[in-house]
Amino acid sequence: MNGALGTLTIVTSLLVAAWSGVTALRGRAPDRRLLAGLGVVELAVLALAIAALVAIAGGEGPGEPGTFWGYLVTLIFLPPLAAVLARMEPTRWGSVIVLVVCLVMPVLVVRLEQTWAVTHG
Amino acid sequence: MAEGSTADRTINRGPGRVLIALYLLFAIAATSRAGFQLITKYQEAPLAYLLSAFAAVIYIVATVGLARANLIGRRVALTACLIELVGVLGVGAASLTVPQAFPDDTVWSRFGEGYGYLPLVLPMIGLVWLRRAGKG
């Protein structure tokens, strides 16, 4: 499991969370740049997923496969879900949706790394 | 005519949409987790995985109910939230008292610890929100 990519995902997600938090406090709807931020988070997640697939192809594997894949699929779906719902809700609550999702993402990445590490760490 | 009653419009707008996002999140998380566990190792902990699958269905039903937001939708969401609360309390308590029945975790194990206790808090928020919106 690539620790650097996991950290990158967590950091970008927290940055977008902070940004959407400020946007929500100012009573603004998420703008195009905030949605682009979600795009960057999604790219980080996809890189993480590809790294995991490469590691599995190389003979490694998650300690708890069922849970691991569950978390990974959820992570991949989350940024697009936040973007779609944020566009449906062009108020400050749209920014809150982005905030909530971007606060959940780091938790899921940490859990993802835990379910990978069971047999390796 | 396109306008619903006030309650219809408020339940799935604004803060309501944040709640829908959270339910959708859990619908995806529980469905993918249960799906992979049932496919890869059903025999290891059938009770845990079937409970995860049941939780997934409840989250999906609640999400649809909240999103539709008409009278039927609200009732469906209310029922789903109640089942969810009973489920998370029951499974949470059972996972602590008879851990041997749960060789692997479910979404609701130890009151949703693996998901930051959100599975415990979410139905409560849902019930409060449905009550408030229902009065409006």
ipTM of model: 0.87
| Chain B residues within 8 A of A85 when measuring between CB atoms | 17, 20-21, 24
* Amino acid type, A30: P
Q: Which of A69, A71, A81 sits opposite B24 (nearest CB)?
A: A81
Q: Tens of pLDDT along B75-124?
A: 999 999 999 999 999 999 999 998 888 877 788 888 988 777 889 999 99
C-alpha distances (whole Å) from B80 to each of A79, A112, B93, B108, B122 are 26, 28, 20, 15, 11
Chain A: closest CA distance from residue B70 (Å): 18
Q: Which residue has the tokens 């609640």?
A: B62
B21 contacts chain A (CB < 8 A): yes
Q: A65 and B32: CB-CB below 8 Å?
A: no
What is the pLDDT at residue B13?
A: 87
**What's this model's pTM, rounded to 2 decimal places?**
0.87
pLDDT above 70 as % of chain B: 91
Separation between Cα atoms, residue B103 and residue B49, nearest integer Å? 10
Structure tokens at B125: 């928020």
Q: How confident is the model at residue B44 (pLDDT cuts 50, 70, 90)?
A: confident
Closest CA to A74 of A37, A115, A119, A117: A115
Q: Tens of pLDDT along A38-75?
A: 999 999 999 999 999 999 898 888 888 888 988 999 99
